Structure 1
Amino acid sequence: MARKIKIPNERLKRFAREEQRRKKDIRNKRKYYLIVCEGEATEPNYFEGLKQDLPNGVLTAYQIDIAGTGRNTQSLVDEALRLQTVYEKNTTRKIDRLWVVFDKDSFTPQDFNGAIQRCHNSDVGCAWSNEAFELWYLLHFQYYENAISRRRYKEMIENHLKPILGNEFRYEKNSEQMYALLKEYGSLDNAIRNAKRLAERFDGRQDYANHNPCTMVYRLIEELTTLTIKD
């Protein structure tokens, strides 16, 4: 029977202290992302799925917090800036990147355009969609150029997934499974490519409320999926 080697208690304590300092140093060096979403579940659920799918080590180097608020357009930007202040005060750490995620839906052009312009003026990342976040889902399967009413998104998503999952499939807006379903049966690369193609149609125009269909969600996705441990 092998003889157990007894490690002096003081050495164990020193190891524990060093390990605690090491973990604290890592936490302090982490870059901090705060993503504030209009929806309380749909967008946060999608981004949580993406977050957990990032390469090993990224979530050690970056802290990514996702908040669903139920706010929209101008009030969402207000809430995001308020949350930034609260987070930084409570954690004594700077938020390195602040993003907001919201839709055009039925809000006035003035509110929608104004919220986007405020983000640009405040260096806040703005992942807006016209008309709804579900456009990002559809672009995983196909390029759409004609204006789409948000009432049609559910049917169109189901039309893409029913041939694969069966006629019983129903799209649920607050589903926790959409990221996984899109990853399995759609193409993130296609979604990014299709979203960029849509954005190019309106290049240089600031009448964002008239950019239908269009989504800037791809900008946030690209930023998150290209995070590296070295940064």
Structure 2
Amino acid sequence: MARKIKIPNEHLKRFAREEEKRKRDFRTKRQFYLIVCEGEKTEPNYFKGLKEDLPKGVLTFYQIDIEGTGRNTQSLVDEALRLKLSYEKENSRPIDRLWVVFDKDSFSAQDFNSAIQRCSNSSPEIGCAWSNEAFELWYLLHFHFYNNGINRTDYQQLIEGNLRPHIGEHYRYQKNSEEMYDLLKTYGNQDNAIRNAKNLTENLIGQQDYANHNPCTMVWKLVEELMGLK
């Protein structure tokens, strides 16, 4: 029978201290993302799908929390800042990156533009993944480049038109679908979506009348940042 080796108490205490320091250092280095969305289901479901698709190991070094609020424009920015403070108090550490996701919809140009400017002028800057008119524009850009103004009532028909050749005429777009990320990944092209979205912004650099930029979306900035995490 093998003789048990007794480890001196001072060694055990040193090992415990080193392990606690290792865990503390890891928590300090881990980055926290908070993504606050206007929609309670549509946008959060998409970003949850993207989160699950990140390269293996990324979520070990990055905590990514996604909140759907049902708020919009200025009230969404207010809620994002409130949630940031709440998260920081609960976790006793700062949020490293705060993003908001909202649409133009039928909200006034003043509210829409002011919310975007407020994000840009915040310190630190709040990432702002806005869309004009709706988040669904990001879906469409996975298939084609659209540079004519799109009314929000047309998005459903256009999404169905792009997906039915792949999954059948029975397909109906559901706004709060949990499968949109997977459908876009399977039948669309994320690289094309990013490229198409960037092309829409090329002629708008320096212009701040965001409410008149239809179609346009900055969702690509958040997607590109998340997909680039290492």
- Structure 1 length as normaliser, TM-score? 0.91
Alignment of 1:152-191 (within 5 A): 152-191=154-193
Q: Deviation above 3 Å: which 4+ runs of structure 1?
A: 3-25
1:7-33 alpha-carbon deviations (Å, 9 max, x no partner): 869899997886665444323320111
User: Could you tell me which residue of structure 2 aligns to residue 56 of structure 1?
Assistant: 56
2:204 matched residue in structure 1: 202
Supply the distance in 2 between the matched residues of 1:104 and 1:84 (Cα, whole angstroms). 23
Q: 1:150, CA displacement in angstroms?
A: 0.7
SS in 2 for 1:43: helix
* Match 1:223 to one of 216, 225, 229: 225
- 2:36 alignment partner, SS class: strand
The percent of aligned pairs where both chains have the same amino acid is: 69
Shift, 1:214, TM fit:
0.1
> Any idea what SS the aligned residue of 1:64 has?
strand
Letter in 2 for 1:134: E
Please give the alpha-carbon distance, in whole angstroms, between the structure 1 residues aligned to 2:51 and 2:3. 42
Partner of 1:65: 65
The aligned amino acid for 1:59 is: L
Whole-Å Cα distance in 2 between the matches of residues 6 and 171 of structure 1? Answer: 66
Paired letter, 1:83: L
**What is the CA distance between 1:91 and its match in structure 2?**
1.0
Pairs aligned (count):
226
Task: State the 1:124 CA deviation.
Answer: 0.4
Determine the structure 2 residue equivalent to 1:104. Answer: 104
Alpha-carbon shift at residue 56 of structure 1 (Å): 1.2
Instruction: Say whether 1:85 aligns with 2:89.
Output: no
List runs of 5+ in structure 1 lacking aligned partners. none
* Aligned counterparts of 1:155 and 1:31: Cα–Cα separation in 2: 39
Secondary structure of the 1:167 match is coil
RMSD (Å) for aligned C-alpha atoms: 2.1
